Chain A
Amino acid sequence: MEIPYTVKPRPDTGLYNAKLGIWLFLASEVMLFGALFSSYVLLRVGAADGTWSMGLMDVIVGAGNTMVLIASSMFVVLAWAQLKQGDLAGYKKWKWATVGCAVLFLMVKWSYEWPSKFKHYDVWFKDTAVLHAHVNEGYGKVAGTEENKAALRDEENKALGLPRLYAEKKIYVGRYFKTDSKKSQSAFTKAWEDGSLALSGHINGYEEAEIKVEIIGWSSDKGVSEADADKALENQGAKSPDDLRKNGGTLLEKTDYDTAKLAEYKLTKAGYSLALSVVGYQYKEAHPYFWRTGRVNEDIGGKPRVLSIDFGLDVNSGDKKEHHPEVKIFTKDIKRLNSYEPKHSTFFGIYYTITGLHAAHVFGGIIVMLYNLLPIGLATWHRDREQFANRIESFGLFWHFVDLVWIFLFPILYIL
């Protein structure tokens, strides 16, 4: 059965049906985002001092992305206005501009904003004394500016020392509080004294384990034949597999983690028992993504997978202009290491949830816009101009809603 498409508004609803449909859809979207916004508000209000890292957000990038989305919202309605005047070329021009803005928005989000957070870390220490030593060493290198020296003339500040003052004013207050107040100072003092203060920064380099893989023995319990077991050894680079299987011995003298673990996995399946041990550490210069405590502290024959980390400390909660002072952190001191991923904290959990859902809407919008720009979608225009204009208007309503969500997201995520 074909359902006739009515382009004219119905007298009872005052709308053409597609428009009523899209408004109902938007109502359901209001529910969805409303629930998330409410969750955000409840979490934000209930957050303890010094746990809500809104100061880490780059307001300028956020504002730029807001502008991009506002422009795209204007372009999409201009595209519709061109259609209403019967100008298909004008429609295409504005629609492509909208697609361009949407793609730019997602690129900023998915290739800059998010990835730069995934390689930005917080480190918590087991021992308060170690934390204090790192703050004094790291921030001692950058604390000598005139501004900080002036702050030190205050007797009370003098007792604290420059590095600590720097960590409080530039890092802690800027990250967790809107203004410097008694509340922010006491929160910092508490975190400083009980050692719950996290050092934030980037991993610039690390010492990773070099692993020796030894064969201890072999049994046919796993149901693998001797020939197959030899072949498995040969695949891992053994020169005399028969001898190694019978007597045991060293399979790999010095190898990296991935190779060693792969060999362990495959050979265990073939019935071997293996021993992995760390023979040394090799320094690597890299900015790794998504590291967690388990990644660096993994126990390999009694030694950690990563011995130490060169950690470039943040000098200002949002700012990247100054030189990052580097401290060497031993992984045995680390209580917790986490990049700014959803697991990091409630703030990042809700941040990625809301912005991710919004980005998914933008992505879906791009697909619909491309459909309406390609011949397959434009066929509707050649068949029934009114229907196509209505379709574009309906899409426009959705797109404005996506813009609306961002208009509210920008202040709550980047400013509050």
Chain B
Amino acid sequence: MADSHDSPDFIQYLIKLFYMVGGVLVAGTLITVLIDVLIPMPLVFAAIIGLSIALVKSCFVIAIFMHYKWDKKLIMITWTMVLTFFFFAGMMGLIMWAEGDIPKLHRPELPAIWPILASLLGIILPASFTVLTIKLMNQPAVLESAQTPKSKAKRTTRKKKTT
């Protein structure tokens, strides 16, 4: 949580928001169950509807409960999660390659270069991220806020826009 958001008013506003998000999550669960019980449908549609509602619910949890919305300087978290996704996709690609289920893209045979590139990516991305993290962590911590007035102004305007 950024330090500019510690004011009592903001916390009060947050608490209201938390109750609202709780309501949204409960409503999402109810809708999922009601659709499942009342409307019989094939597996594909049930999967699309169920997982879409779950996705919406998870977005609310991440944005509000986990304060992602207000952690504006979250390059690190975003990096972490985006790179996790790529690494994971690479791993799954390897698994599917091993299973022989890799999408062939309508070509008779996939050139061997692609799986190799995918696995290299899977190694290089997390490695580079680790190096970057260590580099950043080794910088001397500046405890006094180094924020410029300019960035503060920018943040408040953005906050107004989003709320």
> Which residue numbers of A lie inside 8 Å of B, CB to CB?
6, 8-15, 17, 20, 23-24, 27-28, 30-31, 34-35, 38, 42, 59-60, 63, 66-67, 70-71, 73-74, 77-78, 81, 84-85, 178-181, 393, 396-397, 400, 403-404, 407-408, 410-412, 415-416
Contacts and interface: CB of A to CB of B under 8 A. Distances in A.
A410 B81 contact: no
Given A30-B88, A178-B46, 14 more contacts: A8-B143, A9-B73, A13-B73, A24-B133, A63-B30, A67-B26, A84-B11, A85-B11, A400-B66, A403-B61, A404-B62, A408-B51, A411-B51, A415-B50
A251 B22 CA distance: 68
A54 to B, nearest CB: 9
B42 A179 contact: yes
Interface in B24-59: 25-26, 29-30, 32-33, 36-37, 40-43, 46-47, 50-51, 53-54, 57-58
Contacts, number: 150
Contacts of B87: 31
B88 A23 contact: no
Interface string B1-12: 111001010010
Residue from A6, A15, A17, A71 with most neighbouring chain B CB atoms (10 Å): A15
B103 to A, nearest CB: 14
A59 B61 contact: no
Contacts of B73: 9, 13-15
A415 B74 contact: no
Contacts of A81: 11, 14-15, 18
Nearest to A14: B73
B105 interface: no
Residue from A34, A412, A415 with most neighbouring chain B CB atoms (10 Å): A415
Contact of B29 (A27, A63, A84): A63
Interface of B: 1-3, 6, 8, 11, 14-15, 18-19, 21-22, 25-26, 29-30, 32-33, 36-37, 40-43, 46-47, 50-51, 53-54, 57-58, 61-62, 65-67, 71-77, 80-81, 83-85, 87-88, 91-92, 95, 99, 133, 136-137, 139, 141-143, 145-147
A11 B142 contact: yes
17 contacts: A14-B2, A14-B74, A17-B137, A24-B80, A35-B92, A38-B95, A59-B37, A66-B29, A73-B65, A74-B18, A84-B6, A85-B11, A178-B43, A396-B66, A403-B65, A411-B54, A412-B51
Contacts of A178: 40-43, 46
B114 to A, nearest CB: 20
A8 B146 CA distance: 11
A66 B54 CA distance: 11
A186 to B, nearest CB: 16
Contact of B136 (A13, A42, A70, A78): A13
